[in-house]
Amino acid sequence: MRVLTRKDSDDVALEAAAMFVDLFARKPDCVLGLATGATPLGLYGRLIEAYGEGRLDFEGVTTFNLDEYYGLQPDDPQSYRHFMESNLFRHVNIKGERAFVPRGDISYRDVEAFCSGYEALIRGAGGIDLQLLGIGSDGHIGFNEPGSSLRSRTRLVALDPRTIKDNARFFAREEECPGLAVTMGVGTILEAAEIVLIATGSNKAEAVAEALEGPVASMIPASALQMHPKTTFILDEAAASLLKKRNLYMAAERTEGETGLKIY
């Protein structure tokens, strides 16, 4: 895995944005996997800026979001569909019909069919070229909570109490945070051609260290990324603070600088 450590969240956003700009240049009809939460906001700001400056064109791009709260309508201000519309889609020229977010307003009876349909849509689009991830303080990716099968697919899941606590800040009261969600699985995520995980702040340091340097374990779903051939972690100094092998990552980055080769 590549591990890049940057000074702060602005520099993390810049570095991640560069990966998107590079992909758009190579493949204007690329397929992106997108994430919600506080962490990607800086990156989305950079992408909107690059679009405004004519450096990014979303005309041919398709996107698939990782997850959605179950029980919320797409136009609910707390829904991830609403988050994506407000923080990215509305500000760029992406085609509405090619910006997919799992639906949270499906009946229990129909949810399995919806989830396999979402997988089929991803496959039909040719698979994900670049998957963006955040990481939960409990080590989740998407809403794949500790204990998720490393081969899991898109499905209905129960949120870990820690995630509900972490996300309560977005709701008026903790009890308003839905307890269920629809999420792409760990197995779904691992099929992306390339993955970039961004993490900032000291509350992510433990999960980042376990994901990168601990054993691959379903109790830390992000550790499954160790099995992926092309994953980059972009961290600020606080999120990288508990890594034991920082010297190794820095040496790899230096060599990359000298050789132009990306070292995973």
Catalytic residues: 67, 138, 140, 145
The answer to whether residues 208 and 199 touch, using CB atoms and an 8 Å cutoff, is yes
User: What is the CA 66 to chain-centroid distance, rounded?
Assistant: 7
Window contacting ligand PGA (CB under 6 A); options: 56-64, 77-85, 114-122, 132-140: 132-140
Instruction: Tell me the number of residues near ligand PGA by CB under 6 A.
Output: 6
185-215: burial string, b at 16+ Cβ within 10 Å, e else: bbbbbbbbbbbbbbbbbeebbbbbbbbbebe
Whichever of 4 and 252 has its CB closer to ligand PGA, that residue is 4
Comparing CA positions, the residue from 162, 140, 130, 131 lying closest to residue 208 is 140
Whichever of 24 and 204 has its CB closer to ligand PGA, that residue is 204
Minimum CB–partner distance for residue 112 and ligand PGA (Å)? 24
Among 102, 104, 136, 139, binds ligand PGA (CB under 6 A): 136
Whichever of 84 and 252 has its CB closer to ligand PGA, that residue is 84
Residue 126, phi-psi category: left (phi > 0), alpha (psi -120 to 50), beta (remainder): left
Note whether 139 binds ligand PGA by CB under 6 A.
no
Minimum CB–partner distance for residue 13 and ligand PGA (Å)? 12
Site string for ligand PGA, 24-63 (x = CB under 6 A): -------------xxx------------------------
Minimum CB–partner distance for residue 164 and ligand PGA (Å)? 11
Q: Give every CB contact of residue 86 below 8 A, 6+ residues apart in sequence.
A: none
Residue nearest ligand PGA, Cβ-based: 37
Hey, which residues does 33 pair with through a beta bridge? 64, 131
Whichever of 197 and 252 has its CB closer to ligand PGA, that residue is 197
DSSP assignments along 120-131, one per residue = HHHHHTT--SEE
Whichever of 135 and 182 has its CB closer to ligand PGA, that residue is 135
Note whether 134 binds ligand PGA by CB under 6 A.
yes
Minimum CB–partner distance for residue 138 and ligand PGA (Å)? 9
Comparing CA positions, the residue from 149, 144, 140, 150 lying closest to residue 207 is 140
Among 34, 135, 207, 225, binds ligand PGA (CB under 6 A): 135
Comparing CA positions, the residue from 3, 22, 24, 25 lying closest to residue 12 is 3
User: What is the CA 163 to chain-centroid distance, rounded?
Assistant: 15
Which residues of this chain interact with ligand PGA, rule CB under 6 A? 37-39, 134-136
